[in-house]
Amino acid sequence: MSTMLAWSITAAQVLLGLAMACAVFRILWGPRAQDRVVGFDTLAVNVMLLLLAFGIRSGSTLYFEMALIVGLLGFVSTVALAKFLLRGEVIE
């Protein structure tokens, strides 16, 4: 039964990797800057979920803290980029 869990974790990692590839294509092809920022936000969330899947595979709670940090950094950097698009400067 444990091999089933291992295969399902591998399948989930492949699916999340494809989702990350979609976000990277949107970052590269985005017609305007806000499309790239949405792609970056999606990429950060997908990396967070992929780290949670790695945590289930490894059985340690260290990956959970990495996932939380990636989520925090993705939120802060996305808001900073949106603020930059709105005003032309981040801190006013």
Partner 1 sequence: MNEGMDAPSLATILTATLLIAGAAVTLIGSFGLLRFRNFYQRVHAPTLGTTLGTILITTASMIYFSALGTRPVLHELLVIVFVTTTTPITLMVLVRAARFRDAAGSERGIRDEE
- Binding interface with partner 1 (CB under 8 A): 1-6, 8-9, 11-13, 15-16, 18-20, 22-23, 25-26, 32-35, 37-39, 41-42, 45-46, 48-49, 52-53, 55-59, 61, 64, 67-68, 71-72, 75, 78-79, 82-83, 85-86
Q: What is the DSSP string of 32-49?
A: SHHHHHHHHHHHHHHHHH
* Choice between 86 and 91, CB closer to partner 1: 86
Q: What gap in Å lies between CA 7 and CA 77, rounded to an integer? A: 34
Shortest Å, Cβ 61 to partner 1: 7
Shortest Å, Cβ 54 to partner 1: 10
* Choice between 64 and 91, CB closer to partner 1: 64
Helix axes 62-87, 33-58, angle to 10 degrees: 170
Which residue's structure tokens are 């590839």? 21
Contact criterion met (CB below 8 Å) for 50 and 76: no
